[in-house]
Amino acid sequence: MRCSRSAALEIPPTPQRLRKYDLTKVKKEMFVYRQVDRCRLKMNLFYQPGAERFSRPGILLIHGGAWTVGSRVLATWYARKLAEAGYVAAAMDYRKMPQYPFPACLDDAKAALEWLIQHATPYGLDPGRIAVMGDSAGGHLALLLASKSRDNLERAEDDKTDVIPLKAAIGLYPPSDLTYYSGIHKHKIKSAFTQWFMNRFLQTADNNKEAFASASPLYCLHPGMCPVLLVHGKRDSVVPWEQSALYFERSKKLGNPIQLVSFESQGHAFDYIRPHYRHFVLDEVLSFLRRQMAPVTAKNPQEQNPA
């Protein structure tokens, strides 16, 4: 394995190691964070017992699956590991295609963040220190949340309370340029099915350029955004690595704090296809969050800050 890092990486751990959780450290609870029509949207919350005595940073995890398949369960491994490291981690479901086109999934992600803020106290969550993380389609939503305002999320016009601060965003192989999946992309003509699916997802027709661009994080960049971490395999044929490279360059030119970690020989969803790579991704995520989240002041001298 090669990763764009100056230091040499160790041999990947065995897959068996990945399946082991420290159940004495992490507690799991399930909640319905939103009900829309007949959809009861659920969230799994992972945290350390006794965490309510401290002020912990939180992270919302959004699963991938082409905005069509999958569930919050896909984010379980990362959620548990982040909770073991001292974070309050929430893995969410969201409405999906074909019944619910964009922006239903984005609205659900906003609602999930709102729920975390409103229920922060019982779980020792610091509402001013929340990050978002997603893979593939979930990474697309995470980057859109990061771009909604200057370090904050928008609220409804009739909501007079303060906006939600977003401390950081993490995207694992995220599609940041949806125009790539339309017939208007100058470098590659996509299949008729892909074009049909994306037009339906974006509720448009004839590859409307404005619709594709407005739902693309690449075209929503602006100065003053929260720090972003991108993780991408250079052999990704589903979401080309070049998308993250271009997002990185444009964001950097705007003065935004951003980091791109590239895995030289890996394709799309490599951490799921080859689970032993998850530890390397987790190391990058924890290192990034450690720099972006303010240190936790523990009330117990033996309590450690999130790693």
* Tens-digit pLDDT profile for residues 264-300: 999 999 999 999 999 999 999 999 999 998 654 444 4
Q: Tell me which residue of 170, 139, 140, 167 sits closest to 261, measured CA to CA.
A: 170
Yes or no: say if 269 and 136 are a contact pair by the CB < 8 Å rule: yes
Mean pLDDT throughout 135-163?
Answer: 69
* Tens-digit pLDDT profile for residues 76-98: 999 999 999 999 999 999 999 99
Q: Would you list the DSSP string of 51-62?
A: GGGS-EEEEEEE
* Tens-digit pLDDT profile for residues 158-173: 443 444 579 999 999 9
What is the helix (H) or strand (E) element at residue 129, kind and residue range?
Answer: strand 125-135
Q: Could you give the domains of the chain?
A: 15-177+216-292 (3.40.50.1820), 182-210 (no CATH)
* Tens-digit pLDDT profile for residues 219-255: 999 999 999 999 999 999 999 999 999 999 999 999 9
Residue 302 above 50 pLDDT?
no
Yes or no: say if 217 and 176 are a contact pair by the CB < 8 Å rule: yes
| Distance from C-alpha of 85 to C-alpha of 221, rounded to nearest angstrom | 31
- How does the average pLDDT of the chain come out, rounded? 85
pTM of the model: 0.86
* Tens-digit pLDDT profile for residues 183-210: 755 555 567 888 889 999 999 988 898 9
Q: How far is CA 271 from CA 22, 268, 280, 281, in A?
A: 21, 8, 9, 8
Provide the pairing of β-strand 88-92 with 258-263: unpaired
